[in-house]
Amino acid sequence: MKLFIIGNVFDKGHELATSYWDFRTYLENLYPDFLYAFEEHYYIYPRMDENAMKKILWDELETNLANIDEDVTSTESQSLISAMLHNHDT
């Protein structure tokens, strides 16, 4: 069987939790140190009001993606992967 997904909002049409905010909530629950370090690096502060954070995430997402610091992202990602593997083994 082949599955072809054409168009946008397939995930929302099937009520899947796939927004950045859903992913952020997942990280906040399991890897808060990683999340806060990432957001602080891109000027999104964990202590901000939730609506202000959502506005910054939406308004600045493309700019932030265009200006990703690959060295920092790589280092932080390795830390997250190590933490995930450690948590999986315990």
What pLDDT, on a 0 to 100 scale, did the predictor assign at position 89? 64
Q: Kindly state whether residue 3 falls inside one of the protein's structural domains.
A: no
CA angle 73, 17, 31 (to 5 degrees): 40
Q: Kindly state whether residue 2 falls inside one of the protein's structural domains.
A: no
Report which of residues 22 and 70 the model is more confident about: 22
DSSP string, 49-76: -HHHHHHHHHHHHHHHHHT--HHHHHHH
Residues whose CB is less than 8 angstroms from the CB of residue 1 and which lie 6 or more positions away in sequence, other chains included: none
CA distance 85 to 79: 10
CA distance 75 to 90: 23
Q: Kindly state whether residue 6 falls inside one of the protein's structural domains.
A: no
Q: Kindly state whether residue 28 falls inside one of the protein's structural domains.
A: yes
pLDDT in tens, 34-90: 888 877 777 776 667 888 877 777 666 666 667 777 777 777 778 778 877 877 665
The predicted model scores a pTM of 0.55
Q: Kindly state whether residue 5 falls inside one of the protein's structural domains.
A: no
What pLDDT, on a 0 to 100 scale, did the predictor assign at position 56? 73
Q: Kindly state whether residue 80 falls inside one of the protein's structural domains.
A: yes
Model confidence at 29, pLDDT cuts 50, 70, 90, reads very high
Domain that holds residue 42: 18-89
Residues whose CB is less than 8 angstroms from the CB of residue 29 and which lie 6 or more positions away in sequence, other chains included: none
Q: Kindly state whether residue 11 falls inside one of the protein's structural domains.
A: no
Number of domains in the chain: 1
What pLDDT, on a 0 to 100 scale, did the predictor assign at position 64? 66
